[in-house]
A and B are shown apart, each in its own frame.
Chain A
Amino acid sequence: MSDRLYHAIIGLPESGKTTFLAALWHLIEAGEVTTQLALDRLDGDREYLNKIADCWRRCEKVPRTSGAGETDVSIWVHEPATGRQAKLGFPDLAGESFERQVATRKCRKTYIDDFDGNGGVMLFLTADRPQDGATLLDMAPMWEGEESQSDEMKEWTPSCIPQQVQLVELLQFLQRPPFRRVCRRLAVIISAWDVIAEPRPSPEVWLNRELPLLHQFLLSNGASFNFRVYGVSAQGGNLGEAKGTLLKKTPSERVECVGDGVQPHDLTAPIHWLMEGG
């Protein structure tokens, strides 16, 4: 049905999907702040969702979803003004299936089916991750004066592929059969936005600076991806130093979402933007 959209969530392990889901679940259920979307219902493991939302409310680190406990969760939301409905699918919160796609060059048929409709994509990546892919020549000035490291070559494996290259591969898959070729809205969600030092650049400027291959790819593939970049701090700050301060706030007001025309706490804004394209 044209007014029911399925939006897929993509992200490598530890890219912030679970924390986003925990905060989103609380946000749309509690109604503490104004959001552009309202909750309809949930498909999937409510116990699991409540568990991660409990952790999130206590300002505890939301436990990382393990591959063994891979949890498929779908949330139905609607836009109050128009009544339009959308299903937000988190097919693999652990993110390991995405990593496996790049490594094994295989995906499940159901994953392909998820992209058959006119829905959009949320692509998760985290700002709280050491930079990978640095070359020996990049590192040389830092190692100057130190004893040269011994040659203990580690064999290349798919896990050596830099994050931005893996993400480009995941998006390139969507451009070719067996996926349906269509222009999709793509919301890039940069999680752990609070770790970025002030003055913070705009999310897109940050993406250009930190993951330039991915940014170039998105700019160059307007026929496949109509993209926007959002910075999201689903926890609202550092759970070590700032925990006391965070706990004093209304939980939904801890959430920070940065992007064009976004209300500061509205995590549903990227999803709402995806719905506009359907």
Chain B
Amino acid sequence: MSDAVEYKNCSKSECEVAKSGACAEGHQPLESCRFYGKASERDDSFDDDFQNASEEGDLDSGEGDFIDLPSGETLDMAKVDEFLRWRPIRLITIVGERDSGKTTLICSIYDQFLRGPFASYRFAGSRTLIGLDRRHYYSRADSGLSSPDTPRTSLADGIRFFHFAVIREDEQNARTDLMLSDRAGEKYRQSRNKTDVVSELVEVSKADKLVLLLDGARLANPAERANAFNSVRQTLRAFLDGGALARDTHVQVVTTKIDRIEIQPESEKEEIYRFLGDFKERLFENFKDRVTKLSFFEIAARDPDRKLPLAFGLDQLFTSWVDEIVQPTPTTGIHKFSLQSEFDMLLVRTPMEVVL
């Protein structure tokens, strides 16, 4: 790196990117870090305040003659809960190691809708268009990059959600609202090692579909293969053992970057798919009594060699999120709750007509 390069400040006090050129969050390129180039903590808090103030029912008057409008950025859990008070959602929790393709998968869905209807669904809106575009930009020609990239999700971002509202092409009114989660892979790695981290993963316990990403690029590498399988198996086990996963959550194991397997010589490719087949069988056997539904998908969101079509296999996965109705497991009896306070007892004393 030339001495002439000047790095910008970071609003995080512990990050020394301005001096060293290295982002404390590990972002590369540096501009993909949301804290990079911000002069002070104050700038960042303004950003958050702006976002917080701009969602449904929370619109404040701006300065003087101006009114704040919704931010269009990704949503946090509180905003998703707020949204839920307005409309039902399908919560799709996407879990994977760092660089397994979580954000790329989401960007690819956005990319497909920019081109037209996708998987027989039409785009009906998004609360997070700006968040989507901000990430999709690094795959576009005007980004100045020579090959597509996706900014890494920072550990400091916590859990964020991307929103897509869609309607089947052959219907007029049956709108489905999907919330797709995005969290740094490091957090999921931690959750495999520490049970108490699992309980922090609110997106897992609330998931309608739990998508576990199996990194195809790592499967193509014999030295990484076993660890890639292990990561998925252990993550599922940790979520189940930690009591985070509801019994009726559908678990989907999605092998990403299948293009990295497809470019291998025929004999190696066969071997990888044999390993993958064995892994699926064992996973099914090991967890069939603990998971209501376990299914497998293979995708290549963005094959850089263009041997596979764009968003290969993603249509089936997307359709499964929207089409399949998630039926809650019937409860075996009425949940009994105790009435203890005087306020609770008021409920018992009040005559009520119950309509069933």
How far, in angstroms, from A264 to B138 measured CA to CA in the complex? 44
B141 touches A139 (CB 8 A): yes
1/0 per residue B15-41: CB within 8 Å of A? 000000000000001010000010000
Q: Given A109-B65, A162-B114, A217-B123, is A177 in contact with B130 using a C-beta cutoff of 8 Å?
A: no
B70 touches A220 (CB 8 A): no
A165 touches B66 (CB 8 A): no
Contact of A135 among B71, B126, B139 (CB under 8 A): B139
1/0 per residue B82-126: CB within 8 Å of A? 000000000000000000000000000001011111000011111
Q: Given A137-B304, A173-B70, is A153 in contact with B144 using a C-beta cutoff of 8 Å?
A: yes
Interface residue tally for chain A (C-beta within 8 Å): 50
Whether B50 is near chain A, meaning CB under 8 Å from some CB there, is yes
How far, in angstroms, from A119 to B188 measured CA to CA in the complex? 51
Number of A-B contacts (CB under 8 A): 141
Whether B310 is near chain A, meaning CB under 8 Å from some CB there, is yes
Whether B134 is near chain A, meaning CB under 8 Å from some CB there, is yes
Could you say which residues of chain A place their CB within 8 Å of the CB of B146? Answer: 136, 148-151
Whether B202 is near chain A, meaning CB under 8 Å from some CB there, is no
Contact of B125 among A135, A140, A155, A217 (CB under 8 A): A217
How far, in angstroms, from A172 to B132 measured CA to CA in the complex? 15
Most interface-central of A152, A156, A158 (chain B CB within 10 A): A156
A105 touches B122 (CB 8 A): no
What band does the interface of chain B fall in when counting residues whose beta carbon is under 8 Å from A? 35 or more
B59 touches A153 (CB 8 A): no
Whether A154 is near chain B, meaning CB under 8 Å from some CB there, is yes
B65 touches A220 (CB 8 A): no
B29 touches A212 (CB 8 A): no
Contact of A105 among B72, B117, B142, B306 (CB under 8 A): B72
Whether B338 is near chain A, meaning CB under 8 Å from some CB there, is no
Whether A83 is near chain B, meaning CB under 8 Å from some CB there, is no
**A155: nearest residue on chain B (CB-CB)?**
B31
Could you say which residues of chain A place their CB within 8 Å of the CB of B114? Answer: 133, 162, 164-165, 212-213
Q: Given A176-B56, A216-B113, A216-B122, is A222 in contact with B69 using a C-beta cutoff of 8 Å?
A: no
How far, in angstroms, from A135 to B300 measured CA to CA in the complex? 16
How far, in angstroms, from A108 to B117 measured CA to CA in the complex? 34
How far, in angstroms, from A200 to B21 measured CA to CA in the complex? 53
Whether B160 is near chain A, meaning CB under 8 Å from some CB there, is no
Chain B contacts with A in 53-92, Cβ cutoff 8 A: 54, 56-57, 59, 62, 65-72
B31 touches A220 (CB 8 A): no
1/0 per residue A25-36: CB within 8 Å of B? 000000000000
How far, in angstroms, from A199 to B62 measured CA to CA in the complex? 49
Contact of A160 among B56, B115, B116, B137 (CB under 8 A): B137
A220 touches B122 (CB 8 A): yes
A133 touches B72 (CB 8 A): no
**A154: nearest residue on chain B (CB-CB)?**
B144
B144 touches A151 (CB 8 A): yes
How far, in angstroms, from A152 to B141 measured CA to CA in the complex? 11
How far, in angstroms, from A117 to B246 measured CA to CA in the complex? 48
Whether A242 is near chain B, meaning CB under 8 Å from some CB there, is no
Could you say which residues of chain A place their CB within 8 Å of the CB of B124? Answer: 216-217, 220-221
Known A-B contacts: A137-B302, A162-B114. Give 18 more (CB < 8 A).
Answer: A105-B50, A106-B67, A107-B67, A108-B67, A109-B65, A132-B142, A136-B145, A150-B146, A156-B137, A160-B140, A172-B70, A176-B70, A177-B56, A212-B115, A213-B114, A213-B123, A216-B116, A220-B122
Shortest 3 CB-CB distances between A and B: which pairs?
Answer: A220-B124, A212-B116, A216-B123
Q: Can you list 28 A-B contacts (CB < 8 A)?
A: A105-B68, A106-B69, A109-B67, A133-B140, A135-B140, A135-B141, A137-B148, A137-B302, A137-B304, A139-B141, A151-B144, A153-B29, A153-B31, A153-B138, A156-B138, A161-B130, A162-B114, A165-B129, A165-B133, A169-B130, A172-B70, A178-B59, A178-B67, A213-B123, A217-B125, A220-B167, A220-B175, A221-B125
